[in-house]
């Protein structure tokens, strides 16, 4: 299959809408990461998405809508708190889980009786959903297990030859996927996946629980609320390690490395041995979120055998960065302040 790359403008809008209406799939830009889009109500189209990604069938997709009103077609009921959060955070990186109406295909929702819904903020994608008139199911547009794509070039690397169309809407603003929440009761939500809508932001409106799967390794047989949390994720070919400790400790650890081709994602002030290659990361959680997936991909492209990533803070958006990093690293943390070999997980 020939994969067409097109700029996200009005010229491609009609063609993309026709493609999706006819059961086709296409990669689309959002403000978080690129998505692989299909008509959420078309079971065959949804199957094509799972196939192109190599995604396990029981990992449900997020349904993307272009107005809060579209929620009424998907959700059995919408709690008042959900309306409040929609008013505050939509269009934007917040995904909410509802009991689904029977006509929403089980295949789209990984066999669950719930559906995850969000209204993305990218103007092209909002127009596309509106033009289609149905919700667009879209997982991140990467091959399952690899880092999520934050540019059209990343999508092309994974999907060339597998999908007919990639729409280039520029680099993603946030760089990590949306915050996923479910409702525990009328005034409490639980974060299943942290994102740019932070616990601190949600606490302005309700009580917030953080699911244990956000920062802890799940037992292989654990029953999970969000099936995506149990799979290996975001991992480049290189071995990823989280490096805990201050600048001095990180520098001292990197000097002990011998052989291989190490890559490093740091806060910026570190002095590196010549043998270590630096990739963009940053000193704020927002910068780190923006750069993390792209830099893990760059490290692979550069042939790095291992990548050491400074441990982010766990406040605000740092929680989202740390959650992705833990999975990319298979929960391996090197305590550079300790003996440098203390691996956890
Ligand atoms: O920012 C995003 O959310 C991006 C863009 C494209 O919108 N999409 C995305 O989709 O990250 P995906 O499929 O890579 O991740 C969806 C996550 C998975 O962890 C999945 O298990 C969870 O949401 N999820 C989806 N539906 C769910 C449901 N009904 N119940 C629990 N978790 C659900
Ligand atoms: Mg994903």
Per-residue pLDDT of the chain (345 residues; tens, 9 = 90+): 999 999 999 999 999 999 999 999 999 999 999 999 999 999 999 999 999 999 998 999 999 999 999 999 999 999 999 999 999 999 999 999 999 999 999 999 999 999 999 999 999 999 999 999 999 999 999 999 999 999 999 999 999 999 999 999 999 999 999 999 999 999 999 999 999 999 999 999 999 999 999 999 877 777 777 777 666 678 889 999 999 999 999 999 999 999 999 999 999 999 999 999 999 999 999 999 999 999 999 999 999 999 999 999 999 999 999 999 999 999 999 999 876 555 544
Say if residues 289 and 198 touch (Cβ distance below 8 Å). Answer: no
The span from the CA of 140 to the CA of 199, in Å, is 22
Which of these three, 158, 181, 214, is where a domain ends? Answer: 214
Structure tokens at 307: 């990548």
Q: Are residues 74 and 130 in the same domain?
A: yes
Is residue 228 a part of any domain in this protein? no
Structure tokens at 290: 């923006």
Which of these three, 144, 179, 214, is where a domain ends? Answer: 214
Atom number of ligand 1 nearest to Cα 64: 7
The span from the CA of 252 to the CA of 273, in Å, is 10
Q: Are residues 203 and 74 in the same domain?
A: yes
Check if 108 has its Cβ closer than 6 Å to any atom of ligand 1.
no
Q: Is 23 helix (H, G, I), strand (E, B) or coil?
A: coil
Q: Give the domain range for residue 105.
A: 4-214
Going by C-alpha positions, the residue among 268, 266, 265 that lies closest to residue 297 is: 265
Residue to substitute in 63, 142, 226 for testing ligand 1 pocket (most ligand atoms within 8 angstroms of CB): 226
Burial 219-254 (b: 16+ CB within 10 A, else e): eeeeeeebbbbbeebbbbebbbbbbbbeeebbbebb
The span from the CA of 120 to the CA of 135, in Å, is 11
Check if 30 has its Cβ closer than 6 Å to any atom of ligand 1.
yes
Q: What angle do CA 191, 187, 211 make, to 5 degrees?
A: 20
Check if 141 has its Cβ closer than 6 Å to any atom of ligand 1.
no
Q: Are residues 80 and 10 in the same domain?
A: yes
Check residue 231 and give its pLDDT. Answer: 65
Q: Are residues 25 and 128 in the same domain?
A: yes
Check residue 343 and give its pLDDT. Answer: 54
Residue ID of nearest Cα to ligand 1 atom 3: 178
Is residue 220 a part of any domain in this protein? no
Is residue 296 a part of any domain in this protein? yes
Q: Are residues 299 and 204 in the same domain?
A: no
Check if 125 has its Cβ closer than 6 Å to any atom of ligand 1.
no
What's the CA-to-centroid distance between 256 and ligand 1, angstroms? 39
Atom number of ligand 1 nearest to Cα 142: 14
The span from the CA of 228 to the CA of 285, in Å, is 23
Residue ID of nearest Cα to ligand 1 atom 19: 228
Tell me whether strands 136-137 and 114-118 are parallel, antiparallel or unpaired. unpaired
Other Cβ atoms closer than 10 A to 24: 18
Residue ID of nearest Cα to ligand 1 atom 10: 139
Which ligand is closest in space to the CA of residue 129?
1
Is residue 70 a part of any domain in this protein? yes
Structure tokens at 262: 């190490």
Is residue 57 a part of any domain in this protein? yes
The span from the CA of 252 to the CA of 78, in Å, is 53
For residue 258, what is the domain's CATH number?
3.40.50.11030
Atom number of ligand 1 nearest to Cα 177: 1
Q: Are residues 52 and 201 in the same domain?
A: yes
Token match 């092209």: residue? 124
Check if 142 has its Cβ closer than 6 Å to any atom of ligand 1.
no
Check residue 122 and give its pLDDT. Answer: 98
Q: Are residues 244 and 322 in the same domain?
A: yes
Check if 32 has its Cβ closer than 6 Å to any atom of ligand 1.
yes
Atom number of ligand 1 nearest to Cα 195: 1
Q: Are residues 200 and 259 in the same domain?
A: no
Check residue 335 and give its pLDDT. Answer: 93
Q: What angle do CA 76, 80, 85 make, to 5 degrees?
A: 105
The span from the CA of 40 to the CA of 61, in Å, is 9
Check if 120 has its Cβ closer than 6 Å to any atom of ligand 1.
yes
Q: Are residues 189 and 328 in the same domain?
A: no
List, in order, residues 6 or more apart from 95 with CB less than 8 Å away.
62, 116, 117, 118, 178, 179, 180, 181, 193
Check if 33 has its Cβ closer than 6 Å to any atom of ligand 1.
yes
Is residue 194 a part of any domain in this protein? yes
Check if 177 has its Cβ closer than 6 Å to any atom of ligand 1.
yes
How many structural domains is the chain composed of? 2
Torsion of CA 112, 50, 172, 324, to 10 degrees: 60
Which of these three, 162, 179, 214, is where a domain ends? Answer: 214
For residue 126, what is the domain's CATH number?
3.90.870.10
Q: Are residues 22 and 67 in the same domain?
A: yes
Q: pTM of this prediction? A: 0.96
Check if 29 has its Cβ closer than 6 Å to any atom of ligand 1.
no
Atom number of ligand 1 nearest to Cα 192: 32
Which ligand is closest in space to the CA of residue 211?
1
What's the CA-to-centroid distance between 257 and ligand 1, angstroms? 37
Is residue 198 a part of any domain in this protein? yes
Is residue 226 a part of any domain in this protein? no
Q: Are residues 146 and 294 in the same domain?
A: no
Check residue 229 and give its pLDDT. Answer: 67
Check if 97 has its Cβ closer than 6 Å to any atom of ligand 1.
yes
Atom number of ligand 1 nearest to Cα 34: 6
Which ligand is closest in space to the CA of residue 65?
1
Other Cβ atoms closer than 10 A to 127: 16
Strand order in the sheet with 333-335: 277-279, 262-265, 306-310, 239-244, 333-335, 343-344
Q: Are residues 199 and 244 in the same domain?
A: no
Within a 13 Å sphere around the CA of 35, how many CA atoms are in the beta-carbon half?
Answer: 31
The span from the CA of 133 to the CA of 70, in Å, is 9
Within a 13 Å sphere around the CA of 189, how many CA atoms are in the beta-carbon half?
Answer: 29
């Amino acid at each position: 299959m020939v994969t067409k790359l097109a700029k996200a403008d009005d010229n491609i809008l009609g063609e993309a809408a026709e493609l999706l209406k006819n059961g086709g799939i296409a990669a689309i830009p959002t403000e978080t990461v690129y998505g692989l889009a299909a008509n959420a109500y078309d079971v065959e189209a949804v199957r094509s998405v799972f196939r192109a990604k190599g995604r396990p069938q029981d990992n449900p997709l997020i349904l993307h809508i272009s107005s809060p009103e579209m929620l009424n077609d998907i959700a059995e009921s919408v709690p008042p708190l959900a309306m409040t959060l929609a008013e505050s955070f939509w269009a934007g990186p917040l995904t909410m889980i509802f009991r689904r109406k029977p006509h929403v295909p089980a295949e789209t929702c990984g066999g669950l009786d719930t559906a995850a819904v969000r209204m993305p903020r990218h103007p092209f994608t909002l127009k596309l959903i509106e033009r289609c008139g149905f919700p667009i199911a879209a997982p991140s547009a990467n091959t399952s297990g690899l880092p999520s794509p934050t540019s059209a070039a990343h999508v092309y690397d994974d999907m060339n030859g597998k999908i007919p169309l990639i729409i280039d809407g520029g680099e993603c603003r946030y760089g990590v996927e949306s915050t996923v929440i479910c409702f525990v009761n009328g005034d409490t939500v639980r974060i299943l996946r942290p994102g740019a809508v932070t616990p601190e932001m949600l606490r302005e409106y309700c009580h917030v629980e953080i699911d244990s799967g956000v920062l802890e390794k799940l037992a292989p047989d654990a029953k999970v609320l969000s099936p995506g949390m149990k799979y290996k994720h975001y991992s480049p070919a290189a071995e990823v390690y989280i490096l805990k400790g201050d600048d001095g400790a990180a520098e001292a650890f990197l000097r002990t490395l011998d052989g291989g081709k190490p890559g490093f994602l740091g806060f910026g002030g570190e002095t590196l041995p010549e043998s270590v290659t630096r990739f963009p990361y940053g000193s704020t959680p927002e910068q780190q979120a923006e750069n993390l997936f792209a830099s893990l991909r760059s490290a692979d492209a550069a042939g790095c055998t291992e990548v050491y990533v400074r441990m982010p803070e766990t406040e605000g958006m740092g929680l989202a960065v740390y959650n992705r990093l833990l999975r990319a690293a298979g929960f391996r943390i090197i305590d550079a302040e300790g003996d440098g070999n203390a691996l956890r997980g």
